[in-house]
Structure formats: structure tokens, C-alpha cells
Structure 1
Amino acid sequence: MSYTIRPQSAQFLMGISDVAQFEEWLSKNQDAIGVSFVGRSNVGKSSMINALFGGKTARVSKTPGRTREINIFEFELNFNGKKCDMPKFFLIDLPGYGFADVSKEMSKNWNELMGAFFAEVSESMLLLNLQDARHPDQDADRQFYDFIKRYTRKTVLVFNKIDKLKTQKERNVLEKLKPILSKDYKWIRQMYFGSAHSKIGIPQIEEAIITHFLEELEMRKAHEVDPNLPS
């Protein structure tokens, strides 16, 4: 693949903790192209972001479930190893879901903030959902999909920590689960096995993200030529 994520190019822009703050950001970035990461608390989301974007892009929390902000970054792509002349893309680190040990107030704020995010953010924002390969499709994951199904977001599902599965039997369980999830959640575009630790699946996940960006850019060029084309 000629295009790659430019290592260490992700720059932190801001943390958003309430709906009003998000609305202000959105008013300036209605057509944002990017990728947003979300998953159960302690699923390895920050480690996966760091594996894809380099270094310590995302802070790895010692207390899972405590990050309640939407953290927004900008990053660049390389073309054949060199910085390419493209607009910057957004990386959005969404707060984790399904962590029981939080206050009712924090839970209410998560629902309000995530509701605003999925309802209003640009349709060019890809959602990358992480699940633990050892414990896939948990109640919290199903509740999350029930929460977002009305928004029909383009989604890539990554079964993280695949290196923790030691037998082929365990992997076969995941393989059998994939068509079931595809049927139940039709907005999922691709599914991957991944590991931030061993780097399994990282090139494929990176390619899926970049392919989405290139498709969105091509679609926008086509609309400039013919505004009547379907979105």
C-alpha cells in the first residue's frame, strides 16, 4: 500500500467533556473525515491507537473507565514514505463504555455526549469498535450496538488481544461469531483480528482506515463535478 499513517504525526487538539463543547467543535468541522475509536473499558483501545499512530499518542489509563472525554487529534498520511499533500484527518478517541464502577452522573454524561456525537458528527467519520477477542460480544457490546443502531455508522470491528488466544479452537469460536455479527449489525463493514502488543492485524487495520479516507475524498471530488450524485 502506497499510503500509510505518518508515524508520530498525531497532534492532540482538545478534550471534550460536554455537549456544548462538542457542538462548538462540530460547527467548525461539519465535514470532518477521520476515524473514531470506541470499545469496552480495558479493551486495549489506547494501546491499539498507539500501535497504529505511534509512540504515546493515546494515554494508557491505569484506571479503566475513568476517561470520560472525547479526545480529538489531527494526523497526516505518508505516500511512498514521504509526507503527502492531503488535508489532515481526525483521530477521535471516544470514552469507553460498559464500566460499572462509575457514578450515575458520569454515566448520564456519557449517554448525552455519545448521543450527540453519533447523531451529529460527519458521515465521513469511520467508527472502529474494539472487542476483546477472549470475551467478544459481551452484554456491554450489545448494549452499545443497540445504542448506535439508529445512527447507522460505517463501522470496522477489531477483535483485539488475539495473541492471548492460545488454541485454534478459541479462534474458531471467533470465526463462527463473525457471520452472526454481520447479520445482526449490518453497518459493520469489515472485521479483523488484531493485537496492539504483537502487531497482528495492524497493517490490515491501517489499510482499512486509509481506504475509507480515500473513498471519502473521491466521493467529494465526484460531488464537486456532479452535485446530484447520491451520497
Structure 2
Amino acid sequence: MRLNPVFLLSATDAAHFPAEPKTHGRPEVAFLGRSNVGKSSLINALLGSKEARVSSTPGRTRAINFFALHEVAGGKQKAVPSIIFADLPGYGYAKISKSISAEWPKFIEPYLGERETLALCICLIDTNIPPQTSDQQLITYLKQVQRPFVVVGTKADRISKNVLMKNLAALKREHEIEEILPVSSKTGAGIPALWERIQSAAE
């Protein structure tokens, strides 16, 4: 099965979120993480396309970008999407974090806290760096609002397996979580396992 991503819209206000006619009420999967954690690269690896814009400048995404994923069978694209991806603004980058943090209550918190069609949050954390307070705050928030989430460790190909295991153990301990799914957008490691989680949540 192939999924064809179609860009829907960018939302900077709760009033801009795509309505039922655009999404057909399909389940949504939100991608969250610190600026430069590799969020766009992961989305592109999942989609097998360049739909999400990858920037070398952290914090370029200032809106929630929505993509509808349509099943393609026999060369024809189904009209109703199977699932919706929501790419959220990055956080934690010193130069712009204050401006983005100020915007969060206006449209990020309503999306995470109140969006009925939100089925899963994918929290990206960098396996190459020590645990970050901002990641901890996000995980705590998702627990408080009782959103299903999976924590994904990005850039897992950049360090040796021994160092990766050590870093994952430290991250799990610090963030008080039982599991982190290591992935690499470059090698594709962990991508099939993440797709399984996404499809399971969507069902």
C-alpha cells in the first residue's frame, strides 16, 4: 500500500484547524520536538517524499502544517484520506523559543488538549545529547492531558550501538518513560516499527 501526502493547510490559530470536510474526521498524528531534532526528516522518511520542508535553520516551522495521506491502489488515489499528519512548531531553540512559547497557548495547547481527532503524539528527542528540560515538560504535559504518545529517539545512526543503549537508558530514566523507539531517517532503521504504532493508533 502506498500513501500519497497532500498538503492541506498551515494553522497559526485554533480557528484555522482543518474542519471535517477537509479531513473527513480521519485520525490525526502530531509530530513534536525541539528545533533541529530531525522532525521534518523523519516525516519525509515515513512518507518517502519531501513533503515536509527540511531547513538548516532551526525553528523555521512557525505553524501547524497538516498533510492528508491518501491511499493509492491500482494507480488511483482514494478521495478520503487514511490519516492526517500534523507537523508542529519546534521548541527550545534559544533565539526564537520565547516567541514560539508565547504562541503556544493560542493554538498549540488547544490542539494538543482539545482536538478530538488527535489519535497519537510522536515526541522526538535527540539520542545524541543529554536529556533536555523542554522535552521533559512536553512529556509531562501530554501525560497531564492524557494524550497517547510514543517517544522516538532520532539520529540513532550517528553513535555506536553501545553509546546509543547507554543514552537511551539515561533518557528513559530522566523522562520517566518505559520506552524510546530509536530511529534513523538516514538509514530507515526504526521506521517500519514507528509505522506500526501509527497505524495501530489510527485504527
TM-score w.r.t. the length of structure 1 is 0.75
Identity of aligned residues (%): 34
1:159 paired with 2:153, answer yes
The C-alpha deviation readout for 1:137-165, integer Å capped at 9, x for no partner, is: 31120122233332111111110100011
Runs of 4+ in 1 over 6 A off after TM superposition: 81-86
| Unaligned ranges ≥5, structure 2 | none
- Contact kept, 8 Å, 1:68 with 1:110, in 2: the verdict is no
Structure having the higher Rg:
1
Q: Indicate the SS of the match to 1:62.
A: coil
One-letter amino acid of the structure 1 residue matched with residue 116 of structure 2: S
Equivalent of residue 36 in structure 1, options 30, 34, 39: 30
User: Of 159, 163, 181, which residue of structure 2 is paired with 1:192?
Assistant: 181
- Aligned partners of 2:9, 2:157: CA distance in 1, in Å? 33
Whether the 8 Å contact between 1:30 and 1:122 is mirrored in structure 2 is no
The answer on 1:201 being equivalent to 2:190 is yes
Give the 3 Å change call, closer, same or farther, for CA 175–78 of structure 1 in structure 2. farther
Match of residue 10 from structure 1: 5
Q: Which residue of 2 aligns with 1:222?
A: none
RMSD after superposition: 2.8
Q: Which residue of 1 aligns with 2:113?
A: 119
For the structure 1 residues 18 and 174, does the alpha-carbon distance in structure 2 shift closer, same or farther, using more than 3 Å as the test?
same
For residue 136 of structure 1, report the CA deviation from its aligned partner. 5.0
Residue aligning to 1:60 = 54
User: How far apart are the structure 2 equivalents of 1:212 and 1:103?
Assistant: 30
Residues 158, 191 of structure 1: 8 Å contact kept: yes
Instruction: Give the counterpart letter for 2:134 in structure 1.
Output: A
The alpha carbon displacement at 1:65 in A equals: 1.1
Alignment partner of 1:92: what SS? strand
Alignment of 1:71-90 (within 5 A): 71-77=65-71, 87-88=80-81, 89-90=83-84
Pair 1:27–1:120, CA change in 2 (3 A)? farther
Deviations 1:103-128 (A, max 9, x none): 74443112332111111112552111
Give the Cα–Cα distance (whole angstroms) in 2 for the partners of residues 179 and 101 of structure 1: 28
Q: Could you tell me which residue of structure 1 aligns to residue 43 of structure 2? A: 49
Residue identity opposite 1:131 in structure 2? I
SS at structure 2 position matched to 1:71: strand
SS for the counterpart of 2:152 is strand
Residue 93 of structure 1: aligned partner = 87
Contact 2:168–2:180 (8 Å) recurs in 1: no
Distance 2:169 2:69 in 1: 36
Q: Residue 78 and residue 212 in structure 1: after superposition, are their counterparts in 2 closer, same or farther (change >3 A)? A: farther
Question: What residue is the counterpart of 2:16 in the other structure?
Answer: 21
- 1:171 maps to what in 2? 164
Matches within 5 A, 1:202-221: 202-214=191-203
Distance 1:16 1:124 in 2: 15
- Give the drift of 1:181: 6.2
Q: 1:134, 1:162 within 8 Å by CA — same for their partners in 2?
A: yes
